[in-house]
Each structure stands twice: as C-alpha cells, then as structure tokens.
A = this chain, B = another copy of it.
C-alpha cells in the first residue's frame, strides 16, 4: 500500500491560495500548550483542506460534471464549499442523525443534501456517483484528502520549529494520518498522539493490537462528538501504525467541559470532537514538552453550547 508522502502534502499546500486559512498558534495560559484552531476555517473545520486538495486534483472536465460526498457533517460542508469555489455542482449524502446546524450550513453553500440512514450513507453516495457520473470525494479514505489535512502539520512545524508533541482527534483517521506524516518527515522526534472518545474508541484498541478493529455504527453513534463517529479504513490505519506514537481516550464530560473552557479562556467555539485533543492534554498524562493540540472543528449546536456555558 502506498502511503502519503511529505511531497504530496507540500504539493497540496501549494494549491490552496486564499481558500484555506493558515491558522495561528494560540498560546494556552500554562506556557506549554498551543492551540491550532481549525474551527476558524471558513466552514468551521479542517475538512476544507482535504476537500480542496482532492477537488483540485480531479481533471477539470470530470470535475465539471459535479462531485458527491457522504459525511457526518464537516466533510459535507467542506465539499459543498469547495465545489462552489470551483464552480461545480455538489450532492451531499448525510446521515439522518446529523445536527440540523450542519445540514443548514451545507445547504447554504448551494449543495443538494440527501438524508439517508447512517449505515447506508457510503453505498448511497456510491450509487449516486455511478448513476449521475459524479466524482466521489471520500471523507478520509483517499490519499489526496489525507495529503490536504497534512498541511496542518507543515504549518505547525513552520510556526513552531521546536514543537515536541502534537495531539490530534481521530475519527476516520485522515487528519492524524496527514499531520503525522508531515510532522514525522520534518521532525522525527516529535510525539504524535491520537485522541478518541471512550464511546468510539475502536482505534485505541486496534492500535495496541496493531489490528483494524470495527465497532458498529450504532455503538460509535453514542458519543456526543458527532465528528468523531467514524472509524479508520485500511489506508488510514496503515498511516496510523506508521506515524502515531499513542492513542488515548477522553470521556463525554471531559470533552464538554473543554468546550466550555475553550469558549471562556480562548474565545473559541469548538464542537465536542473539536475539543477532544485539548481535553486529552488537560486530563491525561501526555508526553512532556511543547505541545500543539488541534482544535479540529467548531460546528456545535448553539443550544448545546448554551447549556455548557450556563453550566
């Protein structure tokens, strides 16, 4: 299996122009942690990076027929947004338990949204792609998507050359596959730590046995972190075994408490999965050293954020 390389990631960064924000590193008050706030991207999550790179690498005449994606939410918005930038139509297949805020945001970018049961989203998207001649942009199981997410690792090393630990949420694993590949290529001694919700922790178990572990979609749907309900593919799991040093888990309460802390102390709106890496830093014994935690997304239901803040 060919893994993504640092060259793939550098090529992805070169395509972005103004479409993707080079997010700053925000110091946490302890002087040891910095946040990489991907929630500030135009669609509120890092997914814009992989979607942009994937669409940019589809031949223009094929891309013009349109693209289709399936997603628990943030990838949906990313493909819809990027398709609009490229001027091509987008169809997004979304599980029917997706928060309304994410469905509305996807439609606001001009995409056609189709709701299906969680377990059918991938097959439904493949059927639409085949029937209508559209290009499928997978949420993580694709080298071009992984390379796009890896640009976060380039930015971290460029902005903090002496970084020692990088903490990244894991769902399908595309984000940590890309970041880990970039960081390990440029700074082999950096420790790359993955974070999962306890209620969707198949990767932390699989990581220890070096075997891909599957949990049912229903089991993974228990976590409030709707962005972290995916599970790795063979491609992303191979990257994880290659570039990740450890995978830890956080509780539902730890993620929600961290959502509140990020709003109060860092003035960032994060969704529960977006807060998972910071939650791990605050609650687990991670390796010592200058640490960057990726705040991967901020598309939280406003009513949930209100409840967290009202405490």
Q: Does A199 contact B (CB under 8 A)?
A: no
A56 at the interface (CB under 8 A from B): no
**Interfacial chain B residues near A263, Cβ < 8 Å:** 269, 302, 305
Q: Give a binary string over A42-84; 1 marks a CB under 8 Å from any B CB, 0 the rest.
A: 1010000000000000000000000000000000000000000
Known: A27-B42, A40-B26, A309-B309. A302 touches B264 (CB 8 A): yes
Find residues 81-136 in chain A having any chain B CB closer than 8 Å to their own CB: 101, 108
Report the minimal beta-carbon distance from A47 to chain B, rounded to whole angstroms. Answer: 14
Residue A211 at the chain B interface, CB threshold 8 Å = no
Residues of B within 8 A of A268 (CB): 40, 267-269
A1 at interface by CB-CB < 8 Å: no
A: number of interface residues (CB 8 Å): 32
Q: Which residues of B contact A101 (CB under 8 A)?
A: 264
> A266-311: which have CB < 8 Å to B?
266-270, 298-299, 302-303, 305-307, 309-311
Q: Are B305 and A309 in contact (CB under 8 A)?
A: yes
Q: When the two chains form the complex, which single residue of B27, B40, B260, B307 contacts A24, counting CB atoms closer than 8 Å?
A: B40
Q: Is A11 an interface residue (CB 8 A)?
A: no
Q: List 21 A-B contacts (CB under 8 A).
A: A21-B24, A21-B26, A23-B24, A24-B40, A26-B40, A27-B42, A29-B108, A37-B267, A40-B266, A44-B267, A101-B264, A260-B302, A263-B305, A264-B269, A264-B302, A267-B268, A267-B298, A268-B269, A303-B309, A306-B309, A306-B310
Query: Measuring CB to CB, which residues of chain A are less than 8 angstroms from any residue of chain B?
Result: 21-24, 26-27, 29, 37, 39-40, 42, 44, 101, 108, 260, 263-264, 266-270, 298-299, 302-303, 305-307, 309-311
Excluding A29-B108, A302-B310, A302-B311, 13 further A-B contacts by CB distance (< 8 Å) are: A23-B24, A40-B268, A101-B264, A260-B302, A263-B269, A263-B302, A263-B305, A264-B269, A267-B268, A303-B310, A305-B309, A306-B307, A306-B309
